[in-house]
Structure 1
């Protein structure tokens, strides 16, 4: 049961889900119509491309998947934790994600597929950051697991099995954040095209800096609270 979820988990998770929704909307509306925040559809399309002999498409789809995997691998190397807890590496990871998104924009504006690969690696890095907190699995770049867990909770509720309402609230916040991020990304893309990615890039960077400031403040407060 989640009895006391830290504020930074609620705020950070919702911001990151919103960011992922924006990035994915840009990927879908771009020249390749490619999802970059998750690999379910990409893996299916890769299988179809191989089966139908579309070698060029297969290579491109494989590169997107490999980029996402590379971002996740780097996240594992950098963060090294399977459980969410305050640590300086989260801020570093967010700043790197921000740089990847900034670098993707000029490439995408030139219809260079490397832009998709950088955006995908940024999402792999982000998704690798979020693991678990008090038994709640936190993923911010896709919502399949969230829908599954919500369905399980509803089934338990119907059967009068106790459910963790705070965990349900957390998942609903993540789901809504991803949804509204997608809407915001689609609306912005109409006017700014690939420059829309500058918005999540800046937001990710500020989130990383904000996390670092919060962690520093909390560390200082805890030191001051200790008896001398």
Structure 2
């Protein structure tokens, strides 16, 4: 499980969760407090809107479907559950970067379409970071991580040993998401929706670094 993961995965998980937290901050600050990086709130809003506000319900359905489309892109390009060099992680990061760029350019004039592109980017990221070596690593929302931490602490109270690597990974993701929210708040005050260009640039840089790392590892 987590012991099989390379040591640099923590850095990647922190960066990806920071990106997701930043994206989500833009949605919460700028667009009727809509979460982008996860769907629990959107599905609840969909249920509330269906009886009385059909246009909003349709917008929420588009955002939810976009998240699924993004996840499908990851599923199309990556198969299996182990983290291996040579897979399309760099391509997925480049796609995510492009989706965030398009989102930033569209949000002011075409809010729902822009949110759909941002949601697609988050679905793509969450899917390609979900399972490594059988270890669940989700970087766009924290509910499951806090639940798993609670389970771990309960088992420690029972006398079972603490999985330190797993605990550190979860704390890293939480800190990354929190840092992304803080950074998103600061940047949004200056750049508004164009704040999404920053996580887009981060995804592009990560993709380039992974491609270089992959090439060097082959030599």
**Does the alignment reach a TM-score above 0.5?**
yes
Which residue of the partner structure matches residue 34 of structure 2? 34
Secondary structure in structure 1 of the residue aligned to 2:71: helix
What does residue 189 of structure 2 align with?
190
SS at match of 2:88: helix
Residues 123-138 of structure 1: matches in 2 within 5 Å?
A: 123-138=122-137
Distance 1:68 1:132 in 2: 17
1:14 is matched with 14
Match in the other structure for 2:203: 204
* CA shift in 2, pair 1:93/1:73, >3 Å: same
The 5 A counterparts of 1:41-190 are: 41-50=41-50, 52-190=51-189
CA shift at 1:111, angstroms?
4.4
How much does 1:112 deviate? Answer: 3.0
- Gapped regions of structure 1 (runs ≥ 5): 221-228
Aligned residues: 219
Q: Secondary structure at the match of 1:113?
A: helix
Residue 13 of structure 2 contacts residue 139 of structure 2 at CA under 8 Å; is this kept in 1? Answer: yes
Q: Hey, what's the Cα distance between the residues in 1 that align with 2:92 and 2:207?
A: 8
| TM score, norm. by length of structure 2 | 0.95
Tell which structure's C-alpha radius of gyration is larger.
1
* TM-score (normalizing by structure 1): 0.92
Which residue does the alignment assign to 1:224?
A: none
Distance 1:157 1:17 in 2: 26
The answer as to whether partners of 1:84 and 1:130 remain within 8 angstroms in 2 is no
User: 1:12 deviation in Å?
Assistant: 1.3
User: Cα–Cα, structure 1 residues 82 and 3, in superposed 2: closer, same or farther, change >3 Å?
Assistant: closer
Contact 2:82/2:134 (8 A) holds in 1: no
Unaligned 5+ segments in structure 2 are none
